[in-house]
């Protein structure tokens, strides 16, 4: 029998609570450490479910230095990536993806959904990432979404999406706002949903990632979900155009999203950087209207998304950095809103990936212990977890940095 006792920790709600993980699952236990248990002293730190990254690109990550995106736009990112994609090797994709997964784990992430571009005629990234998914499975849940960066207008691209489904991806995407017309965008969504139904995958759409306020593929996606009875299997990322929808459109849209049980993913790092750069376009905050969505009860997770890629030159693989950006862009700064930001990078993402995402009795014994006492300090300081625990065992440990001052030089 394995026993891990976590003492002196606090929950996100500020309650002091000991935790016991017995044989890999959380178990109710009061009082003191049971005999023979390994002990972690949280020293007043936050004990949280692991962070979850519901939207990241491993195939494009760490390629930023290959060619600079000088305009900073999504369009230049796409054209640079389509050139770099020709030169990928499976070894290179695997090595970069492993580096990012290690960085995610060091930052307390134990599950991620990677979006894999299946537009590459040579199909280099997909087999590399499918193999990596199997290899890391004992310590890290990697899901893959097949998405066609170049759209679904050609029969070759449709065949590639079907091949990705047959090869075993977890979810399928379209990019309807990049198609040549509204009808072509709707057709691409219909094909994506058709294929997901045939192969039994989830749907995870790159939706309305544009400055165009008339882009409303979110409504088409909700309609397809309801018509096919696919509630609970559909996630939409980005939805930037929604920021500009008027109250009448939102009043019609929100009930549709609820009926479709759609989950949303906001990507505040890349989208505050790339959205709103189109000359003459409405330049808002660059993200979906998160406050309105939360008030309406629409489940919304926060993603890190790109990491040093042709699309976005920054990123640290820290979910807390993404949540910190969202705190500003969505103006979520009350104590409860900051706790909600922490749930948006943990529990909400876990729901998308079909995980428990809690510390309740019988939940898998996975958690992180942050060296801060509450949500505000977690967001402000963005520390790595002191420990990352998987199945009741310490998987990653970080010794906090220590700064010392000379007695004479500082003056305070
Ligand atoms: Zn993305």
Q: What is the CATH number of the domain that holds 291?
A: 3.20.20.140
| pLDDT tens-place string over residues 14-42 | 998 899 999 999 998 878 889 999 999 99
Residue 57 CA to ligand 1 center (angstroms) comes to 6
What is the structure's pLDDT at 248? 96
Distance CA(281)–CA(164), nearest Å, equals 35
CA of 312 to the centre of ligand 1 (A): 10
249 shares a domain with 149 = yes
Cβ(240)–Cβ(209) under 8 Å?
Answer: yes
CA 387 / ligand 1 centre spacing (Å): 28
Contact between 285 and 239 (Cβ < 8 Å): no
Structure tokens at 88: 């990928």
385 in any annotated domain: yes
Percent of the residues in the chain that have a pLDDT greater than 70, as a whole number: 100
Q: For residue 32, what is the domain's CATH number?
A: 2.30.40.10
**Radius of gyration, CA atoms only, the chain:** 22
Q: 318 and 384 share a domain?
A: no
Say whether both 338 and 367 belong to one domain.
no
The CA distance from 374 to 371, in Å, is 9
Assigned domain for 252 exists:
yes
Measured between alpha carbons, how far is residue 354 from residues 33, 45, 137, 233, 395 in Å? 31, 27, 15, 10, 22
- CA of 55 from ligand 1 middle (Å) equals 6
Q: Which residues of 326-338 are buried (b: 16+ CB within 10 A; e: fewer)?
A: bbebbebeeeebb
Catalytic pick from 209, 224, 243, 348?
209
Residue 21 is part of which domain span?
Answer: 3-49+360-397
| Whole-number pLDDT of residue 409 | 73
Whether residue 141 is contained in a domain is answered as yes
Considering only 74-83, 238-247, 306-315, which range has the smallest mean pLDDT?
A: 74-83
Structural element, H or E, at residue 203: strand 202-207
CA–chain centroid gap for 346, Å, is 9
5 pLDDT above the threshold of 90: yes
Same domain, 155 and 69: yes
Average pLDDT over residues 122-128: 94
Q: Are residues 242 and 269 in the same domain?
A: yes
Q: How far does the centroid of ligand 1 lie from the alpha carbon of residue 58, in Å?
A: 10
Number of domains into which the chain is organized: 2
pLDDT in tens, 221-248: 999 999 999 999 999 999 999 999 999 9
> What whole-number distance in Å separates Cα of residue 34 and Cα of residue 210?
55
Identify the CA nearest to 234 among candidates 205, 207, 200: 205
CA of 109 to the centre of ligand 1 (A): 17
Classify residue 408: in a domain, yes or no.
Answer: no
Can you say whether residue 197 is alpha, beta or left, with left for phi > 0 and alpha for psi between -120 and 50 degrees?
A: alpha
User: Does residue 196 lie in a domain region?
Assistant: yes
Tell whether 271 and 393 lie within a shared domain.
no
Active site residue 53: no
Task: Verify that 34 and 61 share a domain, yes or no.
Answer: no
């Amino acid at each position: 029998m394995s026993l891990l006792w976590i003492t002196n920790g606090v929950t996100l709600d500020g309650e002091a609570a000991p935790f016991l993980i017995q044989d890999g699952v959380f178990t109710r236990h009061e009082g003191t450490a049971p005999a023979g248990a390994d002990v972690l002293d949280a020293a007043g730190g936050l004990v949280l479910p692991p962070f979850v990254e519901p939207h990241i690109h491993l195939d494009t990550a760490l390629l930023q230095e290959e060619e600079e995106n000088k305009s900073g736009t999504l369009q230049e990112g796409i054209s640079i990536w389509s050139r770099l994609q020709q030169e990928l090797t499976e070894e290179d994709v695997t090595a970069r993806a492993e580096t990012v997964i290690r960085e995610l784990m060091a930052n307390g992430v134990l599950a991620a959904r990677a979006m894999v571009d299946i537009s590459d005629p040579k199909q280099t990234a997909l087999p590399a990432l499918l193999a990596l998914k199997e290899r890391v499975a004992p310590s890290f849940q990697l899901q893959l979404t097949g998405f066609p960066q170049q759209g679904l207008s050609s029969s070759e691209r449709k065949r590639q999406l079907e091949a990705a489904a047959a090869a075993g991806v977890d979810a399928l995407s379209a990019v309807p706002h990049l198609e040549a017309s509204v009808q072509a965008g709707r057709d691409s969504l219909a094909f994506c949903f058709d294929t997901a139904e045939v192969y039994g995958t989830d749907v995870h759409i790159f939706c309305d990632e544009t400055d165009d306020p008339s882009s409303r593929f979110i409504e088409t996606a909700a309609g397809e979900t309801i018509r096919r009875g696919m509630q609970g299997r559909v996630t939409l990322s980005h939805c930037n155009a929604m920021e500009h929808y008027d109250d009448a459109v939102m009043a019609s849209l929100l009930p549709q999203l609820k009926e479709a049980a759609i989950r949303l993913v906001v990507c505040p790092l890349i989208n505050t950087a790339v959205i709103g750069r189109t000359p003459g376009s409405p330049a808002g905050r660059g993200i979906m209207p998160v406050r309105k969505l939360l008030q309406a009860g629409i489940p919304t997770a926060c993603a890190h998304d790109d990491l040093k890629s042709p699309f976005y030159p920054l990123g640290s693989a820290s979910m807390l950095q993404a949540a910190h950006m969202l705190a500003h862009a969505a103006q979520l700064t009350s104590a409860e809103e900051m706790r909600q930001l922490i749930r948006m990078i943990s529990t909400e993402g876990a729901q998308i990936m079909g995980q428990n995402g809690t510390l309740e009795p019988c939940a898998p014994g996975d958690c992180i212990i942050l060296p801060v006492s509450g949500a505000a300090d977690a967001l402000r300081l963005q520390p790595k977890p002191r420990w990352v625990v998987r199945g009741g065992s310490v998987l990653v440990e970080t010794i906090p940095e220590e700064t010392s001052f000379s007695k004479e030089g500082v003056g305070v």
